[in-house]
Amino acid sequence: MSALPIVVEQRTSVPDYLPARMVNEFAYCPRLFYYEWVEGLFEESSDTIEGENQHRRVDEKATALPAPADLPESIHARSVTLASERLRVIAKLDLVEAEGGMLTPVDYKHGRPREGSGGLELWPSDRAQLAVQGIVLRDNGYRCEEGIVYYRKTGQRVRVAFDDALIAETEALIRAAWSTAGQGQIPPPLVDSPKCPKCSLVGICLPDETLAVERGASGSTEATAEPAQLGLFDAMPRKPIKREVRPMITPRMDLRPLYLNSQGVRVGKSGLVLQVREDKSVLQEVRMGEICQVNLMGNVQISTQAVQALCEAEVPICYFSMGGWFYGITTGLNQKNVFLRRSQYRLAEQDYFTKSLARRLVAGKARNQRTMIQRNHVEPPRAVLDGLKEMADRAERASSLEELLGIEGNAARLYFGAFGGMIKLDEEREAADFAFDFEGRNRRPPRDPVNAMLSLGYSLLAKDLTVACYAVGFDPYIGYYHQPRFGRPALALDLMEPFRPLIADSAVLTAINTGMVAARDFVRVGGSMALTPGGRKGFFRAYELRMDTLVTHPLFDYRVSYRRLLEIQSRLLARVLEGEIGEYPVFMTR
């Protein structure tokens, strides 16, 4: 057994002791270990919940382990915690059995043992975790020659001897885990591993997606980098390398947003249920486990108890004015990934990075606007299509953010100049709903029904991307194309640029063309136009239908909803900031 102590030059702040469970994770997947222990990210699955429940039952029967000199002939000690100062590891032992002064740790596992050539054997990660328990027992003066893993699914016990080879292998694994944590750089994803589809963090890790983008699956040929930055951004055309991306992410989320639109109602809680009340009457009850966000529109009150419960459940609360202006958001303490934000702040000061990302965002927005015209216009104007193509090409060559703002403005003028051709009413509705005549974009305040819905749609989209930024670990107020301004979620606005036509504009067209919103659903106040409560309800339905629509990702060839897509794209930007992929793959629909 090595007597060398663990000495790590740490670049990140991690706990003083490495848990045996994290050694298990490192042996299973170093990237999973980094996410969980260094960045503090964790997602529940049915297996983790079941395992937690089983260990909770074990912990309820905790007993003390006597000192080595006081050991009786036989003992069964449960939920014993011991640490090794030499290796800086700590382990909670589910059960310690003693016979004749010899201790045997027994670890409980939810699954089943591995079928080996010589019969049943431990999985490598389980063997490493059990060996850590043997090491901490020995380092605390106990005699320990073997360990046992009890697999609950099959009811079988599998033994392993703590020989010199296993101990040396495990100590090397511990040192490697400490080194990985101290370096502050996430390990690469596993390649085509069968472990990935079962991992609860696959939607955060994006293993196949990261590798696909890194290896050039986008087939990008644009030269966006400046010569001094060729190490991060490839300025030369690349040959597309197509690799299969397994659809490991569920296409849609099970949870749904909650919109509270009726003025004067109050939100409280009873247990894990939100109660929406008017005076003393309960109008609606909603289980917190069924929602992903709560949106309060205007004069809607919420109790402190409800806020606390939603924060604990990591369900964000979003606040809007009655007219749909996005005020802000309340979230729990789930912004643990300080390392990502540190990279975000650093790169926000790098001119080459802000220009490169901004070029891609503006070009992608113009191309998506062009696609919307091609798909939905009664007779797509050739001059508009050519102009949008030119604006996208010019955006890729822009030399400054100011030039990009001008290009984006020109593209918007072309696009909204043809927007009215995508509004399709039958003759009866066209005569009745003359209010949907559209002559151009206006805002602050919007002066016609179409612009009122466009403003509300962009406000909802900014909210959803702010939620996505918080979920990934970004600071949504530090952007790259949109410069910092008090109270403005600049990064959320950056990410939403390519999605404006695809989500918000599309929701507006759906609301009008299908009759979800009619002229009677608007009210004029002074020189501004606003939706009535019934009109907002109809528009929310159109917006959420669009967010729930499945779309094929052009890089990965699997179908996901737009709501899921917003999170995927946000995480891909995180991969860029952390140096795993070279450039942000803007989503452009086919």
Q: Which residues pair with 318 in a beta bridge?
A: 295, 329
Residue 547 lies in a domain: yes
Is 499 found in the same domain as 357?
yes
DSSP per-residue letters across 407-427: HHHHHHHHHHHSGGGG----H
Same domain, 359 and 447: yes
* Measured distance CA(135)–CA(142) in Å, rounded: 10
Is 440 inside a domain boundary? yes
Q: Establish if 389 belongs to a structural domain.
A: yes
| Contact predicate 174/33, CB 8 Å | no
Side chain identity at 512, as an amino acid letter?
I
Q: How many residues does the chain have?
A: 590
For residues 374 and 493, membership in a common domain is answered with yes
Residue 378 is part of which domain span? 338-577
Question: Residues 270, 389: one domain?
Answer: no
Specify whether 278 is located in the same domain as 312: yes
For residues 95 and 157, membership in a common domain is answered with yes
Query: Are 556 and 498 in the same domain?
Result: yes
Residue 199 lies in a domain: no
What pLDDT does 56 receive? 56
Instruction: Look at residues 280, 297, 330 and tell me which one is the last residue of a structural domain.
Output: 330
Residue 236 lies in a domain: no
Q: How far is CA 46 from the centre of its chain?
A: 19
Helices and strands (DSSP H and E) totals, the chain: 18, 21
The CATH number of residue 112's host domain is 3.90.320.10
Alpha-carbon dihedral angle through residues 63, 68, 74, 75, given to the nearest 10 degrees:
10
Torsion of CA 471, 472, 476, 480, to 10 degrees: -160
- Number of domains making up the chain: 3
The CATH number of the domain where 552 resides is what?
Answer: 1.20.120.920
Percent of the chain's residues with pLDDT above 70: 86
Q: For the domain that residue 299 is a member of, what is the CATH number?
A: 3.100.10.20
Specify if 436 maps to a domain.
yes
Please write the tens of the pLDDT for every residue from 173-228.
999 999 998 887 889 998 988 889 888 889 888 998 888 887 764 443 333 233 33
pLDDT of residue 404: 93
- Distance between CA atoms of 520 and 518, rounded to whole angstroms? 5
Same domain, 271 and 368: no
Q: What is the pLDDT of residue 243?
A: 59
CA distance 321 to 317: 14
On whether both 535 and 429 belong to a single domain, the answer is yes
CB 80 within 8 A of CB 65: yes
Residue 439 lies in a domain: yes
- Higher pLDDT, residue 266 or 236: 266
Domain shared by 347 and 325, yes or no: no
Does residue 201 belong to any structural domain of this protein? no
pLDDT at 230 over 60: no
- The residues, ordered by sequence, that sit 6+ positions from 238 with a Cβ below 8 Å of its Cβ are 216, 219, 220, 221
State the chain's mean pLDDT as an integer.
83
What tokens appear for 115 in the block?
């079928």
Provide the b/e sequence for 469-507 (b: ≥16 CB within 10 Å).
bbbbbbbbbbbbbbeeeeeebbbbbbbbbbbbbbbbbbb
Last residue of a domain, one of 134, 161, 182: 182
pLDDT tens-digit readout, 260-312: 888 888 999 888 888 898 888 888 888 988 888 899 988 889 999 999 999 88
Do 56 and 89 reside in the same domain of the chain?
yes
Classified as helix, coil or strand, 247 is: coil
Give the other-Cβ count within 10 Å of 240's Cβ.
11
Query: With b meaning 16 or more CB within 10 Å and e meaning fewer, what string describes 140-173?
Result: bebebeebbbbbeeeeeebebebeeebbeebbeb
- pLDDT for 335-382, tens place per residue? 666 788 889 999 999 999 999 999 999 999 999 999 999 998 888 889
Res 523: pLDDT: 81
Residue ending a domain, among 301, 330, 359, is: 330
Say if residue 566 is in the same domain as residue 498.
Answer: yes
Q: How far apart are CA 541 and CA 510, in angstroms?
A: 10
